[in-house]
Structures are given as structure tokens and as C-alpha cells.
Structure 1
Amino acid sequence: MSEKNNKIPFPEDNYTHNIQRNNERKLDRRGFMKTLVGAAGVFAVSSLPWGAVAAKELLGLSEKEYPHKKITDIDRIGVGEAVEFKFPGEHDDAILIRLSEEKYVAYNSACTHLQCPVFWEKEKGEMLCPCHHGKFDVETGNPTAGPPRRPLPTIEVSVENGAVYAVRVKRYES
């Protein structure tokens, strides 16, 4: 055998000969972290316009008046009874409760805990969320028991020409 064929193309004690080659290690830990922080920054900046739109909508919610929507005629709902309806959109469940001859209250009927439906129990005079036994005060919409911590969004109503109309959604105020 010739000695020429048995030679290694690099010194035997240099096992890291390929590290020094150009473009061998393009992304080290520092480069990876810089890329990660840069991507998070781009994501944060790109979401700012949507956050501004959401904040504008939430801040103006108390002044926003929707087209008046007829809920029911007053002679079709007795004192202590409730009527379910949709307001302000077709996917927003709400409930109207007649407390006396002249007093009506209406709320968004999605529980403020996990959005389960809230029901009116006439016999007990309570608004109940069956998912986690949440209860709400019928006069104010404030939670009285269970895990909910925020009141139900109030829907302002008006009585005109023998009918009850939904007018606007009041903004939650802490």
C-alpha cells in the first residue's frame, strides 16, 4: 500500500475542522433569539391597528344606538314573565323581563363567566346560569352567586305604542 492513500485530508487532532468554513453555522443561539424577538415585534406592530379599532368600538359602545328593535307587545308579556330575543345582532342572545306593570329590564343573556345561557326562573325570581350555578340580580344584572364577577350587559328598552323596543347596549362600568 502506498502511504499517499492512507493520509487523512486534515490533521488528526483537529476534529472541528468544518466549524471555520464559511456559512457553516448561519444561525447560532444569539441569532435565533434576535430572530424570535424580531418576529414578536413584527406581530405586535401588525396587531396594533386591530387593537385601536377594538378600543374605539368599546369606548363608544355606550353612545352607540342601534335601530330600535321590537321585542314584543306589552299585552303578550305578563308581570314576572320573560321573553328571549336577539339584540343588537342576530347572534346576540338577550332576555327581557317584566318586573311590574311599568318596569321592564333586559340583559344580554350570555353569562359573563363562560358565556353559558342565563335563564329567568319566575318561581324563584332569579336569573340563573346552570353551567356553574351563577346567579344575577334581576334589578341590576349584578352577580349575586357563583363564579361570575361582572354584571350582565344591560340593554336599554323603551315602551312605545303598546310595544317594548330594544334601543342600545349599555357599556360595562366597573
Structure 2
Amino acid sequence: MDKNNKIPFDEDNYTHNINKNNERKLDRRGFMKTMVGAAGLFAVSTLPWGSIAATELMGLREKKYPKKEIIDVKKLNIGDAFEFAYPTDHDSALLIRLGENEYKAYQNACTHLRCPVFWEQSKSELVCPCHHGFFDVKTGSPTAGPPRRPLPEITIQVEAGKIVATGVKRYET
């Protein structure tokens, strides 16, 4: 009561500002139902992307690679290496001529920390100078150092006197 002996509100308590019919539109249970529904919707909406990623990572779908001419056979001597870009212009690769009709090509990034790999002709091996990793030139398998996976091999063939890249072999697990 105030100085005039009047009640300041129509009611005798201070709950006049609550609309009792709509007092609890969103209680704890309603809030949790909304959050679980939103999480479920998010999970279901990511399923298509997850299935695409799973098929790609598990190698269930075969990738298509463009054919790309690398170099003329006559320009590469036995024992020499040639650097080129494959499968895209941003992927460095290395072609090595091992014999008269024997060629090997690998992606030019160490499988340890992606440092460039170099052809050591005098030792007949591929070398990663960053952490002293060594790879067998015939298989791409690591022979020493920290790398544990082989270099990704690029499939090549000779067509009309030119060496052509045709694809990248998947890792065998």
C-alpha cells in the first residue's frame, strides 16, 4: 500500500505481469525436445556427404584420371628423371627411365610429411632429404627413414614414342 491507501495493481500480489495462460510456452522438457530434434535433423542432413566421403576413402569408386602426355621417349636417357605435373597442374610427379623400355612414375611428395622426393641416380633410389626417407624406385616402398607408406604410383604407358600418364594407383592396405 502506498500513501493514499490504494493498491498499486488490480491484484494483491506482484504477479500481475505474468500471462498465466502462456506462462510456460517453452519449459525444460520442450527445450530438450527442440534440441534433440535439431541434433537429429543435423545428423540426417550430413548423411549424404558422409556416404560420399566414405566411398571415396574406402576406394569403393574408381577415380577417372585424364591422359596426359609427359615427354618424348627420345628426350629421356636411361637413368634420368623428369619432373612433371599430374593429375592436376598443382600435383608434382617424377618420371624415371630405368631401362630401355622400363619407366616408373610417382607422385613427388614424401608420404611422411609431403616434402619433395628426389631421384638419386648414383644410388638408384628416391630420397626425401627432409627426414632422410628413402624409397625403392621399382616399387615406391619405403626402405629407410620415417615414411611408412609407399609413394603413390602413376600409371604410364608409351604411345607413339611418347610417355603418357593414365592414372594414379590406390594405396593397398
Q: TM-score, structure 1 length as denominator?
A: 0.72
Computed over aligned residues only, the root mean square deviation of the Cα atoms, in angstroms, reads 3.5
Change (3 A) 1:126 1:45: farther
Letter in 1 for 2:73: I
Matched, 1:117 2:116: yes
Change (3 A) 1:80 1:38: farther
Letter in 2 for 1:165: V
Instruction: For 1:40 and 1:147, locate their aligned partners in 2 and report how far apart those are by CA, in whole Å.
Output: 42
- CA contact under 8 A between 1:61 and 1:169: conserved in structure 2? no
In the alignment, what sits opposite 2:141? Answer: 142
Letter in 1 for 2:61: G
Matches within 5 A, 1:25-174: 45-54=44-53, 55-56=55-56, 58-61=59-62, 64=64, 66-174=65-173
In the alignment, what sits opposite 2:15? Answer: none
- CA contact under 8 A between 1:61 and 1:171: conserved in structure 2? no
Instruction: For 2:38 and 2:115, locate their aligned partners in 1 and report how far apart those are by CA, in whole Å.
Output: 37
Change (3 A) 1:46 1:157: same
Instruction: For 1:136 and 1:126, locate their aligned partners in 2 and report how far apart those are by CA, in whole Å.
Output: 6
Counting aligned pairs with the same residue, the percent is: 57
Aligned residues: 163
- CA contact under 8 A between 1:61 and 1:170: conserved in structure 2? no
Change (3 A) 1:40 1:96: farther
Q: What SS does the corresponding residue of 1:75 show, helix, strand or coil?
A: helix
Instruction: For 1:131 and 1:44, locate their aligned partners in 2 and report how far apart those are by CA, in whole Å.
Output: 41
Change (3 A) 1:80 1:49: same
Change (3 A) 1:119 1:47: farther
Gaps of 5+ in 1: 1-21
Q: TM-score, structure 2 length as denominator?
A: 0.72
Encode CA deviations 1:68-94: one digit per residue, 9 max, x unaligned.
100000111111111111111111111
Encode CA deviations 1:122-141: one digit per residue, 9 max, x unaligned.
12211011111111110000
Instruction: For 1:40 and 1:120, locate their aligned partners in 2 and report how far apart those are by CA, in whole Å.
Output: 52
In the alignment, what sits opposite 2:8? Answer: none
Encode CA deviations 1:1-58: one digit per residue, 9 max, x unaligned.
xxxxxxxxxxxxxxxxxxxxx99xx9x9xx99xx6x9887766555433332232473
Change (3 A) 1:103 1:48: same
